């Protein structure tokens, strides 16, 4: 039976195993090297300071129109950049991009859990600073820079990257 198989599939089995094993270890070495380089890059990247960029100011809401523990969605700085303004229970305002840093699903404010939650893969971010609390997101949420002007809340820029 084995001779028949070797006749139908004329492969040098000894050499085939040898090459496969060698190729496999070569793959493992390259994969581990790639992972090590990727981890080192992420570690260095996370040490860079925040980068803030200013954009044209845009009024988001009248401060008194939002009760503590509430949120409103808005778009900034471009029409397709979905963001969320949150009035924390202590009255302070914070705003973030609503795009989850994992695969861009929109995050939702959960006042009862004091977090921004991404339902796609169970990711969560802190309301205070946008840092990752759980799940697969690799970075904090980009923060929207705010200014209070005569009782109105204005978006004035974006923090493109925050420390992990
Ligand atoms: S897209 Fe948000 S956790 Fe995956």
Ligand 1 center–CA 117 separation, angstroms: 9
Query: Is residue 41 domain-shared with residue 57, that is, in the same domain?
Result: no
- Beta strands 152-161 and 132-134: pairing type? unpaired
Confidence of residue 164 (pLDDT cuts 50, 70, 90): very low
Judge if 60 and 138 occupy the same domain.
yes
Answer yes or no: do 41 and 116 share one domain.
no
DSSP 8-state symbol, 90: T
Q: Which atom of ligand 1 is nearest to the CA of 100?
A: 2
pLDDT given at position 30 = 77
User: Are 42 and 76 found together in one domain?
Assistant: no
Determine the pLDDT at residue 9.
Answer: 67
List, for residues 46-78, the tens digit of each pLDDT value.
Answer: 555 568 999 999 999 998 899 999 999 999 999
Rounded distance between C-alpha atoms, residue 136 and residue 50, angstroms? 21
Pick from 99, 108, 120, 138 the residue to mutate for probing ligand 1's pocket: most ligand atoms within 8 Å of its CB: 120
Is the pLDDT higher at 159 or at 161? 159
Q: pLDDT, tens digit, for every residue of 91-126?
A: 999 999 999 999 999 999 999 999 999 999 999 999
Please state, in angstroms and rounded to a whole number, the distance separating the CA atoms of residues 55 and 105.
24
d(CA 95, CA 164): 18
Specify whether 57 is located in the same domain as 126: yes
Whether residue 76 sits in one domain with residue 22: no
More confident residue, 19 or 130: 130
Select, from the ranges 13-22, 45-54, 73-82, the one with the highest average predicted confidence (pLDDT).
73-82
Domain count, the chain: 2
Which has more pLDDT, 69 or 13? 69
Looking from the CA of 57 toward its CB, the CA atoms found within 13 Å total: 9
User: Beta-carbon neighbour count of residue 45 at 10 Å?
Assistant: 13
Phi/psi for 2 (5° steps) reads -60, -40
Can you tell me which atom of ligand 1 is nearest the CA of 103?
A: 1
CA distance 124 to 118: 6
| Ligand 1 atom at minimum distance from 135 CA | 3
The CA 103 to ligand 1 mean position distance, Å, reads 5
Residue numbers of the domain that contains 36: 2-47
Residue nearest to atom 1 of ligand 1 (CA): 103
pLDDT digits (tens, 9 = 90+) for 132-154: 999 999 999 999 999 999 999 99
More confident residue, 102 or 13: 102
Ligand 1 binding residues, C-beta < 6 A: 100, 102-103, 105, 118, 120-121, 123, 135-137
State the distance from the centre of ligand 1 to the C-alpha of 115, rounded, in angstroms. 14
């Amino acid at each position: 039976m084995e001779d028949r198989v070797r006749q139908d599939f004329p492969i040098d089995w000894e050499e085939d195993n040898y090459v496969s094993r060698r190729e496999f270890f070569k793959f493992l070495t390259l994969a581990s090297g790639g992972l090590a380089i990727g981890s080192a890059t992420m570690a260095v990247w996370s040490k860079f300071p925040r980068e803030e960029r200013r954009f044209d100011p845009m009024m988001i809401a009248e401060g008194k129109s939002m009760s503590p523990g509430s949120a409103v969605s808005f778009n900034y700085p471009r029409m397709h950049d979905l963001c969320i303004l949150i009035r924390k229970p202590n009255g302070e305002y914070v705003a973030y991009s609503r795009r989850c840093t994992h695969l861009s699903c929109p995050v939702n404010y959960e006042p009862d859990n004091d977090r921004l939650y991404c339902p796609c893969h169970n990711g969560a971010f802190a309301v205070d600073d946008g840092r990752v609390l759980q799940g697969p997101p690799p970075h904090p949420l980009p923060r929207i820079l705010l200014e209070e002007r005569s009782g109105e809340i204005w978006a004035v820029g974006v923090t493109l990257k925050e420390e992990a």
